[in-house]
């Protein structure tokens, strides 16, 4: 996911030029991964740019920080407005937004409360995370890299340092010619992708796993479950095995970056017909209509960067 520099980044309470958002080489987070972050998207709607599920993402941002005893020196409301400021000042439409909070430079002790906390929000235009995947589906492999257990590092948090686990899995997948990896947990059950939750479709039912599988409880995952229920598609949350993946009629990823991306191939074997299936396609279509403000029932999920026009009577 490359990026094109934009004009401004929100940095410790004010908007600064992109090139002025600088961090010291001895920042604690740079050495030990002691920071937390979020990934959010804005979408172009008929009423201007809107951030999708802003409050849910920022709520998880603060929850992640609490897991690591990192005190964010701003309120959720202040960061919500700062996010919208980033969208406005950079004139963003379809864009990716990255809030981050981390322990900055003061000491290199492994743990201390001495370090100041830096908070920043950047945003830049973005297309599909996995090129071509939204339309054609992606090729994935089951990684030999296992997901860390939550009693070692809390999978429910979105911390900077823990993503080295994901990086190792993607390195292996790309080295072997695949687009993405699926990680198993320490028990050999399916956990998640490197930055995505996973859904299995079998006999018309949509299955995904839960926190006990050592997954990040994705905001998009929650969105997909709600959309599926609204479409009267049966859903189930529970354990996923490797055999569930191999025998699935359809598989798809969900996440802020990947949105709703079908999986067309697993370990070199086609999934179902080898093309995006009807249930994943229907959920994907409904998701994008919601994100683009085309479905009134999901309007609650949108935070507009400009005050939307009053509905016509």
Which residues are annotated as catalytic?
158
The alpha carbon of residue 156 and the mean position of all alpha carbons in its chain are separated, in whole angstroms, by: 12
Sign of CA dihedral 64, 41, 240, 142: negative
Relative to beta strand 205-208, strand 138-142 is unpaired
Query: Does residue 188 come out as left (phi exceeding 0), alpha (psi in the -120 to 50 range) or beta?
Result: left
Give the Å distances, CA to CA, from 252 to 1, 202, 224, 281: 19, 12, 11, 10
Burial class (CB in 10 A: 0-12, 13-18, 19+), 233: middle
Which of 191, 184, 231 shows the shortest CA–CA distance to 208? 191
How far apart, in Å, do the first and last CA atoms of the chain sit?
42
Phi, psi of 128 (to 5 degrees): -70, 140
Phi, psi of 41 (to 5 degrees): -130, 145
């Amino acid at each position: 996911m490359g990026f094109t520099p934009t004009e401004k980044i929100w940095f410790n309470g004010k908007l600064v030029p992109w090139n002025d958002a600088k961090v010291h080489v001895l920042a604690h987070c740079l050495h030990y991964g002691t920071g937390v972050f979020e990934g959010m998207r804005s979408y172009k709607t008929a009423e201007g740019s809107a951030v999708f599920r802003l409050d849910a993402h920022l709520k998880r941002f603060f929850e992640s920080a609490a897991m690591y005893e990192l005190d964010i020196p701003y309120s959720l409301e202040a960061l919500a407005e700062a996010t919208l400021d980033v969208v406005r000042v950079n004139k963003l439409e379809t864009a990716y937004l990255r809030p981050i909070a981390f322990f900055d430079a003061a000491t290199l002790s492994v743990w201390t409360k001495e370090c100041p906390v830096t908070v920043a929000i950047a945003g830049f235009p973005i297309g599909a995370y996995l090129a071509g995947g939204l339309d054609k589906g992606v090729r994935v492999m089951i990684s030999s890299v296992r997901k860390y257990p939550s009693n070692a590092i809390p999978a429910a948090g979105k911390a900077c340092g823990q993503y080295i686990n994901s990086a190792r899995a993607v390195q292996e997948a790309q080295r072997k010619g695949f687009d993405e990896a699926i990680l198993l947990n320490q028990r050999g059950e399916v956990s998640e992708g490197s930055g995505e939750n996973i859904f299995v479709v079998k006999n018309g039912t949509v299955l995904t796993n839960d926190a006990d599988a050592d997954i990040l409880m994705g905001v998009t995952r929650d969105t997909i479950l709600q959309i599926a229920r609204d479409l009267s598609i049966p859903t189930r949350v529970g354990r996923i095995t490797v055999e569930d993946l191999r025998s699935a009629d359809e598989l798809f990823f969900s996440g802020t970056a990947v949105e709703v991306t079908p999986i067309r191939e697993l370990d070199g074997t086609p999934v179902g017909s080898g093309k995006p299936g009807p249930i994943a396609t229907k959920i994907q279509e409904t998701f994008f209509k919601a994100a683009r403000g085309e479905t009134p029932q999901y309007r609650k999920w949108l935070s507009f960067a400009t005050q939307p026009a009053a509905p016509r009577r």
